Every structure is written in structure tokens, then in C-alpha cells.
Amino acid sequence: MEIDSFISEYRKKISDCSDKSLSSDLKVLNDDLNRLQKINELLLRDKYRLVFIGKPGSGKTTTICHYLGLIDDNLEGREFTNIELFNVASGNTTAFEVHYSIGGQTRFYIYPEKQEYQKLMIREYCEYVWELAKSSQNNKEFAKSLKNDEEFSKLSQNDDRSDRSKRSTEINRIIRNMLGVQSNDKFKELIISDYFDLDFESFYQKMLVKIDLPHRTCQEIVYDDSNLSEKEWIKKTFTNINYGKITNVSIPKRVDVFFNPMNIDIDIPDYISEVVDTRGFEENERPDLRKLIHDDDTINILIDKVSDVPNEKLQKILGEWVLKEEKDVIPKIFIFVKVKDNELENVNEADGDAEKGEQIKREEIQQKVHNWKLNYNLENTLFWDSYYGISTENKTITIKTKDGNIKKPKKTYISEYDEEVIISERNRISEHIQSNIDNFKENLKKEAEELKIRVEKLYQDIVVPSLNKQQADFLKKKIISLETLRNGLIGFGNSCGKIKEIFSNYSSKFWHSVKYSTSNKNGIRWNSAKKTTYVAGTWDRAQIYYASYDYSYNLAHNIIQSYKDSLINYLNCEEFLVLKPFFDSCKDKINNISYRELLNSIAQKSHNLLVDIFTDGGDWDHSETDNIMKHRDVDSWSSLKKVETGNGYYGRLIDKFIEIMEQKQLNDKIQDEVIKEVKDFFDNIINLLKNKISNL
């Protein structure tokens, strides 16, 4: 059974259980079903975001560019520097979160910081340089010029990014370029020369005017430069966004980059929807990173260097942010150990062997994971050289300076770019990640099967007995209701019941209906009477007996119908939907064959009793009129024959019929037969309920 169908089935089953004593057991079952639901969602996921996390300078952007193939074309013979399409350096390079994905057009989409936070960061940076400027002039009173700002103070206390611009070289760089100054020193000199006599608040307001945030509204920049290739345009445009050099773009919080796959060959694996480059991890608390790590759709790549892996930031993530119980998070965390410059060969005791060096580092990582109790799967460790497949050589370049001196610096050039080897290395990484995710899903499937068995057992051991008891109690109440309904008809104790009340004067009511029945005026009314006087020897056409059949049928129907409707109403399953098929079968039985059989049986027995009154009894078929003649009660028919003809003859004949029927105690006999039939009818349904209880 599919997981979602299994969950639906058992949620419905346990919802029927209202036994409060089982609340803790039901919670266990619900927790298991919730876990199954989570597993099902994880198994259905086929696309992930690949998230790169690390300290500034750990090589996140470099790794992403080489992993996705986002590097310049025609590299052989050119200088080995700045070959990536996105800014890379020794750290503090990318100022915001960057998302890479395939799209219809090559373009950038910019999500700006809220303007209030942009003002806050601008203020902090301006305050920082203002302080430098005042300090450089030995002005001890500079602090007095920093006015209290209630809004600034409130934001500083409530927002986790309140000190961000004080620490963030990247944000300071953007603000500085938005102000049009080349460096902090140049900005300090500008303050001293042009703004020194102002108080800080006035200076800050002038800087806001200069930056002009209200007019920095551009959020989308689409490739449309025929003078540059798309790669060249991406490289130039991203640098300008990252450095704050586009006049109508404000400080970004996040930038999405979309690549046109027709023009840019980007190697994003099929199972990856996008690649995320996060801001360098410096602060102790990073809610944005915590959320990404714990999202169901992320595969998290922690970048570290060979020298000290895992570093203190990764230790915090794996030891504090990720708990050992978070079994859906841990399998999706990988450590990329960034290798360069023959580092593995130079590992202590590696003796120049890269494979041996890698094995030594893996053992070191294993020991650290064990000693520090880090929540990490060791098989998720990958050693990655971003420049694997790129060969370089050093050349001495002769440069003549302006003053006539000669410099001969050494520069590194790319001698070979082996695309086949590079693609193979990318595929190795992608396949390793995919394989580990597949293993994670296989483990989820095994867990799901174990949970299903556990749920079924718990349900059978805990819930079923309780549900059976609840259903049995429910059915017992139904039986009491049906018995009360039945007793209202047949009587109980000193109560005579509805049937006795109606059938107590059956004889007079029946003949009254015959006497005044217009529909039978020329049938029963005269034919039966005539037979008694003129054709005493042939009774095959004496229709009076068959009138009793119809009369009894209709009378019983009128009495029982409302009780039957109540009976059906009592057989509603209400809160126990599991009993609905059983109750529906009972209702079908009542509504269809059984009820008609009940009325026919009452009518037939009434008919038979009427015949018996005017015969000497016996085991014959009363529908055969010859038998009636052969076994007639001679005294009864003789008394009927003696009724004088003439005016009022029919009435006197009917009176004689009634007299004879009362002598034969017809009322008691008919009502007893009806009571028996009705009791059997109700008891049949009640017994079905009792059998159901015994089977629970």
C-alpha cells in the first residue's frame, strides 16, 4: 500500500476512537503517522537547492564557479587570475546571498534590503568613518555630535543585522561606492575637508541625499548588450551590482542569476533546482543559515580548508545547530575540503602521496567528529580541487615603469585547460551527492516499512480492543432503543401495546369497513351475502375471506410503518463510520424484503383465521374453496342461513358474522398472531446487533 493511502486509512481508523484513557497511546500512533507523512514528502522530492556555506575566504564562490562551469572562455595562454564569472578573492567579496539557476533569459533579479535597514547600515558606516575623521583631528568632543536617534536605537536593539555594516567589508564597500568615494581614507578626507563643521546628523542626512535611495528602484537587469558576450556581460554586471556601482540599484539582500542555457553551458545536475552562495559565516547567530540547513529541499555544502577541517564555524553548525535526532538533516550535509597547491601531498606523513594524504585527513576528521560529538556522516566528505584539470606555468614579464626602471615580476599563466578531465571531476562530485541522497531515501523507505508494521501492531494491540468495546457499548444502546420501540408495539408488563389497542375490536372494525366500502359494493357486499342464502353449496366466490387479507395488510402497515421508520433511524452509525456497512445491510433488510414479508404474513394469517372460524379447522390450503366447503362449520353456516332476507338483510347478516367471530375469539387470535410476527421481525434485527457484538 502506498504511504499516503496507508496514512489516510489509519487516520480515519483512529479518529473513531474516543476513549480518553488511550490519549497517550493515540498520540504515539499519531506521531508515527506524522513521521510517515514527513517521510512521504521527502521521498516525493526530486529537486533540491545546493547551498554553499562557509567562512569568508573559504572559497564558496570559487567552488561554485568551477563546479557549474561559470568561468571565462579560451583560457589557455591567458593569465591565471580572475577567470571566474563572479567575484572571488581572499574573503569578504560577495555582499549578499546569490542564487544561480537556469532561466529563459540571462538576467539578474535583485531583492533589495528594506529601506529602513539600508538607512541603518548607511548610518552605521557613516558613523564609523565620521569617528575616524574626528579622531584623526584629535577632537575629543566628536561624540557630542552624534545625536540620539530613537528610531536608529530601536532598530539596533531589535534586528540581528544591527551591527552588520560595522563588521561587513562587503556592505561598507557598496555604501562607499554609492557615495562615490574610492576608499575609507578618501571618505575620511572628504569629511574633514567638506563636512567637519557639521554635526553628525546633518552630515548623515546629506549622505542620504547623495545616495538617493528613493530613486534606486531597479530590480531586474536583462542581458541586452550586443557589444559583450553573455559571459562578459554577466561578469561585468555582477561586479557592478556587488560593488554598488549601478546608480539605480540599492543595497541587495539577495540576487538571483538566471542563465540562458542556449548560450551558456552551465552544469547544474538534473536533481538540483538552484545553487545558493551564502554570505560568509562570521557571526555566531545566523538564522538565515539555520533555516537553509533545516529546509527539506536543501543539500548543504560546508566549505573548509585542508589545514583545519572542520573549523570552529563548522563545529558550531554540526555540534549545536544540527542535533543528532535530526535524521533528515544530517544525511544532506556534506563537507567539501577545498584542496590546492599540492596540499594533500604535503600532509604530515603523506610522503608526497595525495591519496595517502587524503586518507590521513579523513581519519583526522573522523577523530574530531567522534571527540567533539559532531552530528555528521563521514561518508559525506569530499575533497575538491577547484582548479583540477587546469595546468599553469610561471613566466617572467619585463615591465618598464614611468620613471624608466625595469621590473621583471613573475606571473602565472594557464598552459592547459583539460575540459574532459574537468567535466569528469564535476560529474564525480554530482554522482557522489546523488548516490548519498539515494541512500538517504532508501533508508527512509526502510523506516517507512518499519513504521507501517509498528502502526498496524499498535492499532491491533491498543486501539482495536478499545474501539470494539466502544462499538459494543454503542450497539447495546441501539438494542435498548429497539427493544423499547418493539415493546411499544407488542406491549411489556402491564402495558398492552399499540397492536392490542388497535386489534382489540378487529371484528366490528373489519365488517364495518366491508359494509361501507364503496369499492366493494357490488363485490363482497352482495356476493358473500347471497352465497349464504341461495348457493350454500358453492363457496368458491365468497370474497369476504380475501377482503380480510387486504384489510389486515393495510391495518398492520398503518400501525407499524412509523415504528419501522424509527427503527431505520435508530440504525444510523453516527460516530462509528466503520459500522456503516453493517447498519446499511440491516436497513436494506428492513426496507426491502423483510418488511413486505411481515405484512404479507400478518395478512395471510388473518385471512386463515377468518376462514377457520367458519370451518372445523384442519391442515388444508385455505385458498382452495373446495376445502372450505368440505370442512365448513355446519353450525356457523346454518346460523348464517337463518338470517331473514328482505329490508336490512345485509346488515343483519354482517351482525351475524360478527357474532360468530366474537364467539370464536377472532380478535384475540389475530392480535396474538400479529404480535408474534412483529416480535419476530424486531427480534431478528436485534439478534443481528447481538451477533455483531459477539464478533467484536
The pLDDT tens digits for 152-203 are 444 444 444 444 444 478 899 999 999 999 998 999 889 988 988 899 999 9
Q: For 331-354, what is the mean pLDDT? A: 91
10 Å Cβ neighbour count for 567? 22
Percent of the chain with pLDDT over 90: 51
Q: Please state the domain count of the chain.
A: 1
Is 625 within the bounds of a domain? yes
What residues make up the domain containing 632?
A: 504-686
Percent of the chain with pLDDT over 70: 87
Is 679 within the bounds of a domain? yes
Is 167 within the bounds of a domain? no
Asked if 387 and 59 count as a contact pair (C-beta separation under 8 A), the reply is no
Q: pLDDT of 542-575, one tens digit each?
A: 566 677 888 889 999 999 999 999 999 988 877 7
- pLDDT of res. 301: 97
10 Å Cβ neighbour count for 603? 22
Of 265, 262, 258, 277, whose CA–CA distance to 73 is shortest?
Answer: 265
SS3 category, 252: strand
Is 210 within the bounds of a domain? no
Cα angle 555, 557, 559 (rounded to 5 degrees) comes to 70
Task: Write out the three cell numbers for 139.
Answer: 577632537
Of 379, 383, 392, whose CA–CA distance to 425 is shortest?
Answer: 383
- For 472, residues 6+ apart whose C-beta sits below 8 A from its C-beta are 693, 696
The H or E element spanning position 424 is: helix 419-458
DSSP string, 531-600: HHHT-TT--TT-THHHHHHHHHHHHHHHHHHHHHHHHHHHT--TT-GGGHHHHHHHHHHIIIIIHHHHHH
- pLDDT of res. 515: 67
- pLDDT of res. 327: 94
Is 319 within the bounds of a domain? no
Looking at 590-648, list the stretches that DSSP marks H as alpha helix, in order from N- to C-terminal side.
595-613, 625-630, 634-641
Cα angle 243, 268, 260 (rounded to 5 degrees) comes to 65
Asked if 641 and 531 count as a contact pair (C-beta separation under 8 A), the reply is no
Q: Is the pLDDT of residue 522 over 90?
A: no
Asked if 661 and 507 count as a contact pair (C-beta separation under 8 A), the reply is yes
- pLDDT of res. 663: 81
What confidence category does residue 641 fall into, taking pLDDT thresholds of 50, 70 and 90?
low
Is 72 within the bounds of a domain? no
Is 561 within the bounds of a domain? yes
Is 487 within the bounds of a domain? no
Q: Please tell me the number of Cα atoms within 13 Å of 319 on its side-chain side.
A: 14
Q: Of the ranges 147-151, 312-316, 503-507, which one carries the lowest mean pLDDT score?
A: 147-151
Q: Of the ranges 318-322, 389-393, 399-403, 412-416, which one carries the lowest mean pLDDT score?
A: 399-403
Q: For 7-33, what is the mean pLDDT? A: 86
Looking at 137-192, list the stretches that DSSP marks H as alpha helix, in order from N- to C-terminal side.
150-158, 164-167, 169-179, 184-190
